[in-house]
Chain A
């Protein structure tokens, strides 16, 4: 039998109701695993003490036959890990940065309020690339997180701490944030399901901002059903994020019967690892054999997506991080003049990658360059959106591999541009605002340096689906189909 911490949300919820274990025992199993494994994996920056009142309240509700609220009922008494850029009142939220090491959240993020109301428990805050900038957690100010499948490799990022924590069964599920692939890429590299919801489906209130027109909070989970349960619990209109969509739009565009899957084969001709592509082809064929339609589609502007992203995102980063000036909160270094105060605080507070992106953003927004870069990128974004909308006239979802290759070794992508290319497939969903999911599609074999020259290791890779705005239901359906055919 599985230990409680190894269970999915759905399994743990049913175990709690069958009295196989108590809320306390489930918490202890997760907290114990988290404490034991964290010295090796560095997935958590902090493991919280049990909130006795919350544990008791959850147990009481379960004993009383659950809450009457329906779907969110599933999360009663379930330990959840949260990325270090999501505010929980009274807890530190450092966004993986020296700049905010001493910052204590003064309010709950909207998603935290919702999870508290649903009776979920907060296990700890997870490691991440500084201010969510990176694809490996190597840019965390607090050391990298290791991939539980091979500790010589990265777990992906920026939500790499959340991914490793779930994959190593240190928690039942976790929240991450996704600006260009930061939920989906680590989910793929650690064998999990990761969802980036439609822009505006989930409130960003209380998420430390990176790229405001791109950021979304979403789940990293052990199954599609779990990702759905967390998504249902956190989504919804919020007056504190005026970009959240009205509830009446949230009609959950569904699809019944067989699905039509579009694959932009033209984009996969080069740059994708042969074994990853082979696994992707097999997964697509299996869907076809199960009676679903597969169509070749063309998305020509996708070739420009990453370039457009690396203009728009740094522009928003440089704007958002301007508020961190060492004055009111965060790292506060003092020099001779007020200008020195800013310079020293920001230079010591921000790591290399943050500084690099601030400079890029300052550049693309400066007079003389804004037309050549920012406006052009914004136009590319509009063209991409239109191409996807046209493709969705013919197909329900669009599929490609989440990443071009499995998890890489630490230090392998020390050149910034090679790290940026990790997100080449995932950024488009952020640029278009469309929802996207990564679901495990199997493993590929790689030589292992930790086991010596003769050993090999199985590394998970993911299949990625994109759907039209607010059609998350299609993603869950496609994801479940993959779970069935795998």
Chain B
């Protein structure tokens, strides 16, 4: 059983907040889903060696400039909530005091 505190902690880790009035319902629903997926515990898992792993391959491109510098800059910068020239404005996180 998940407690409200555990759900609150998960939310903090995921950078979202859950209002106190929602917390009870959220915890219950969360619990129900976790109980449902918990049935995986009863799955008779074959030894890992008998299962073929998915084929994995690295995909790398050749070094080089895929597009000329600046091609997409304005389009991307136009999405910024706040900009200074081509720079994104964010809060200062290191203080000088």
The interface residues of chain B lying within 8 Å CB-to-CB of A308 are 37, 40
Query: Interface segment, A49-57, A182-190, A369-377, A445-453?
Result: A369-377
Task: List A contacts of B54 (CB < 8 A).
Answer: 382
- A-side binding surface: helix, strand, loop or mixed? helix
Known: A359-B30, A420-B33. A329 touches B11 (CB 8 A): no
B26 to chain A, nearest CB (A): 7
A394 close to B (CB within 8 Å): no
A459 to B79 alpha-carbon distance, docked (Å): 43
Interface string of B24-67 (1 = CB under 8 A from A): 00100110111011111101011010011110000101000000
CB <8 Å contact, A358 and B40: no
With A103-B79, A360-B30, A360-B33 as contacts: A383 and B15 at CB distance below 8 Å: no
Is A356 located at the chain interface by the 8 A CB criterion?
yes
CA distance A337 to B51 in the complex (A): 48
Residues of B with C-beta under 8 A to A325: 15
Q: What is the minimal beta-carbon distance from B20 to any residue of chain A, in angstroms?
A: 13
Is A408 in the interface zone, CB < 8 Å from B? no
Task: Decide: B15 and A338 in contact? CB cutoff 8 A.
Answer: no
Q: A380-B40, A417-B33 are in contact. Are A347 and B16 (CB under 8 A)?
A: yes
**Which bracket fits the contact residues of A?**
35 or more
Q: How far is the CA of A435 from the CA of B53 in the complex (A)?
A: 20
Contacts of A342 in B (CB 8 A): 15
Contacts of A332 in B (CB 8 A): 81-82
Q: A484 vs B8: C-alpha distance in the bound complex, in angstroms?
A: 55
Is B96 positioned at the interface, with any CB of A under 8 Å from its CB? Answer: no
Tell me the minimal C-beta distance from B87 to chain A in angstroms: 11
B36 to chain A, nearest CB (A): 6
Is A307 part of the contact surface with B, judged by Cβ < 8 Å?
yes
Contacts of A383 in B (CB 8 A): 43, 45-46, 51
Contact of A373 among B15, B17, B37 (CB under 8 A): B37
Quote the shortest CB–CB distance from A480 to chain B (angstroms). 32
Q: Is the pair A372, B36 in contact by a Cβ cutoff of 8 Å?
A: no
> Would you call B16 and A358 a contact (CB within 8 A)?
yes
Q: How would residues 28 to 65 of chain A score, 1 for a CB under 8 Å from any chain B CB and 0 otherwise?
A: 00000000000000000000000000000000000000
- Residues of B within 8 Å of A107, CB to CB, are 72
Asked whether A376 and B45 contact (CB < 8 A) given A318-B14, A417-B36, the answer is yes
Verify B79–A379 contact, CB threshold 8 A. no
Choose one: A328, A361, A364; the contact of B79 (CB below 8 Å): A328
Is A363 a contact partner of B10 (Cβ separation < 8 A)? yes
Does A14 interact with chain B (Cβ within 8 Å)?
no
Contact with B along A286-315 (1 / 0, CB 8 A): 000000000000000100101110110000
CA distance A327 to B93 in the complex (A): 14
Task: Select from chain B the residue with minimum beta-carbon distance to A106.
Answer: B75
In the docked arrangement, what's the CA distance between A326 and B91, Å?
Answer: 12
Return chain A residues, CB-CB under 8 Å to B51. 379, 382-383, 386
Residues of B within 8 A of A350 (CB): 16
Contact (Cβ within 8 A) B52 A416: no
Does A108 make an interface contact (CB < 8 A)? no
Give Cα A154 to B17, complex, Å.
30
Number of A-B contacts (CB under 8 A): 130
Assembled-state Cα–Cα distance A373/B33 (Å): 12
Give complex CA distance A13, B72 in Å. 36
**A205-226 interface with B by 8 A CB criterion:** none
Q: C-beta contact mask, A87-123 vs B, less than 8 Å → 1, else 0?
A: 0000000000000000110110000000000000000
Bound Cα distance A420, B16 (Å) = 23
Interface centre among A242, A350, A359 (most CB of B within 10 A): A359
- Do the beta carbons of A372 and B41 come within 8 Å of each other? yes
Does the CB pair A356–B30 fall under 8 Å? yes
- Assembly CA distance A20 to B52 (angstroms): 55
A416 and B90 contact, Cβ closer than 8 Å, known pairs A311-B40, A318-B14, A382-B51: no
> How many Å lie between the Cα of A332 and that of B43 in the bound state?
44
Task: From A337, A359, A380, give the contact of B7 (CB < 8 A).
Answer: A359
| Chain A neighbourhood of B11, CB < 8 A | 355, 359
- Of B11, B40, B93, the most chain A CB neighbours within 10 A belong to B40
Chain B residues near A306 (CB, 8 Å)? 36
Please tell me if A444 contacts chain B, counting CB pairs below 8 Å: no
Bound form: Cα–Cα A350–B18 in Å: 11
Contact for B76 among A106, A358, A382, CB less than 8 A: A106
Say whether B88 contacts A328, CB under 8 Å. Answer: yes
- A276 to chain B minimum Cβ distance, whole angstroms, is 23
Beyond the given A322-B14, A328-B76, please list 4 additional residue pairs across the A-B interface where CB-CB is below 8 A.
A242-B59, A325-B15, A343-B17, A355-B18
List B residues at the A interface (Cβ < 8 Å).
7, 10-11, 13-18, 26, 29-30, 32-34, 36-41, 43, 45-46, 48, 51-54, 59, 61, 72, 75-76, 78-82, 88, 90-91, 93
**What would be 14 A-B contacts, judged by CB atoms less than 8 Å apart?**
A239-B61, A304-B39, A307-B39, A307-B40, A318-B14, A328-B88, A358-B14, A359-B14, A359-B16, A359-B30, A362-B13, A376-B45, A382-B52, A416-B29
